[in-house]
Amino acid sequence: MTASRKFLKGNEAVVYGALAAGCRCYFGYPITPQNDIPELMSSEMVKVGGQFVQAESEVGAANMLLGAAACGVRAFTSSSSPGVSLMQEAISYMAGSELPGVIVNMARGGPGLGDIGSSQGDYFQAVKGGGHGDYRCYVLAPATCQEAYDHMIEAFDVAYAWRVPVLVLGDAILGQMKEPVTTWTPDVNADAGKDWRLEGASGRPERLLKSLFLEDGALAGHNAKLQTRYRDMQPLSRLETVGVDDAELVIVAFGTIGRIARSAASQLRKQGHKVGVARPVTLFPFPVAQLQALAVPGRRFLTIEQNCGQMVEDVRLALAGKAEVAFHGHLPGNLPNPDEFIQPILDALAAKA
């Protein structure tokens, strides 16, 4: 592992993280605010001898990803919300066919064309499946450019270890902000996928990757297997906490909003308010046990999201009535600012929310 320091935008960190992880195929289609990714990939991928394709659409890009994943070659695609909606068909097929692909969503405001500013309105789509059928993606929610880099490396490892599609859910803020990033190169397990990947049936029986199961009981068995896998992935869940030990109020927020909530909380700490922040780093699996452990008697929770209330449902499910969970939604379309979180936090502290 060699490390060095670079000043990178979130979108650029995604590119360099993927290349460090041994990604050798990228398929994409232009959409703001993630255009830096295909633009940078068009030259960087060629430098490492990989393949770059500007697809005809996000439908095309996601299906190219499916094809490359079927070959056991590390590949990814990126887009922003409207484009990620178009990818859901392929993601469902990848989940059903147990194919490891990585999809980055630098989310923007919706519904419909929305805007090109940041939003967390794709939480449900990301963590509840998004396409048809009972499946989940492993979902990472980076909050910093460093995490954008590190999460790409983790995304490929998890995708190949578990044979699941992995979503990295960022937003317009993460894609566009610039920070110092320590770049590093992991050891990549080249053997991952060697017992299922397609390469031509030379000297062995043919292999088949599919999601159609018509034989009696076969689909039920397949679904049971997938559900077991998702349950077995639960220990991968992560929650980052700051200042929660003595907190009267714990703010639960993910991604860049988690970071902004942290600034607001530290401002309030200085004024003597006992506020902590819990940031789910994995959105699926959701850090249920870690959140439950925080639900000590008398402590209140406030979920802050840049949407109209999505993750809050999972926070309430996780806490299962053990604590009250208030919600503050910062509407997509407005750029969030720590000052705007102060009053909702004070209200929640005062149990007025």
Residues that bind other proteins (CB under 8 A): 24-25, 27, 51, 53, 55-57, 59-61, 63-71, 73, 75, 89-90, 93, 97, 198-203, 205-212
Torsional class of 72: left (φ above 0), alpha (ψ -120 to 50), beta (otherwise): left
User: At what angle are helices 255-270 and 338-349 packed, to 10 degrees?
Assistant: 70
Q: How far is the CB of 44 from other proteins (least distance, A)?
A: 16
Which residue's CB is nearer to other proteins, number 184 or number 196?
196
Which residue's CB is nearer to other proteins, number 56 or number 232?
56
Which residue's CB is nearer to other proteins, number 75 or number 137?
75
Contacts of 13 (CB under 8 A, 6+ apart): 145, 146, 148, 149, 152, 181
Q: How far is the CB of 75 from other proteins (least distance, A)?
A: 7
Q: How far is the CB of 232 from other proteins (least distance, A)?
A: 25
Query: Pairing relation of β-strands 102-107 and 25-28?
Result: unpaired
User: At what angle are helices 145-162 and 10-20 packed, to 10 degrees?
Assistant: 40
- Cα 82 from Cα 65, distance rounded (Å): 18
Q: How far is the CB of 37 from other proteins (least distance, A)?
A: 17
- Residues 250, 277 contacting (CB under 8 angstroms): yes
Bridge-partner residues for 4, per DSSP?
183
Q: How far is the CB of 29 from other proteins (least distance, A)?
A: 11
Q: Count other Cβ atoms within 10 Å, centred on residue 36.
A: 20
Q: How far is the CB of 186 from other proteins (least distance, A)?
A: 20
Which residue's CB is nearer to other proteins, number 52 or number 184?
52
Which residue's CB is nearer to other proteins, number 71 or number 177?
71
**Long-range CB contact pairs, 54-58, < 8 A, 24+:** 54/28, 54/29, 54/30, 55/27, 55/28, 55/29, 56/29, 57/29, 57/86, 58/29, 58/31, 58/83, 58/84, 58/86, 58/87
Q: How far is the CB of 60 from other proteins (least distance, A)?
A: 4
- Cα 143 from Cα 239, distance rounded (Å): 12
Sheet with 300-305: strands ordered across: 239-242, 275-280, 249-252, 300-305, 325-329
Which residue's CB is nearer to other proteins, number 134 or number 199?
199
Q: How far is the CB of 130 from other proteins (least distance, A)?
A: 14
Is residue 280 reached through a cis peptide bond, with omega within 30 degrees of 0 on the bond before it? Answer: no
Is residue 186 reached through a cis peptide bond, with omega within 30 degrees of 0 on the bond before it? Answer: no
Q: How far is the CB of 101 from other proteins (least distance, A)?
A: 9
How many Cα atoms are found within 13 Å in the side-chain-facing hemisphere of 94?
A: 37
- Residues 138, 282 contacting (CB under 8 angstroms): yes
Which residue's CB is nearer to other proteins, number 203 or number 235?
203
Which residue's CB is nearer to other proteins, number 61 or number 158?
61
- Residues 17, 150 contacting (CB under 8 angstroms): yes
Which residue's CB is nearer to other proteins, number 205 or number 235?
205
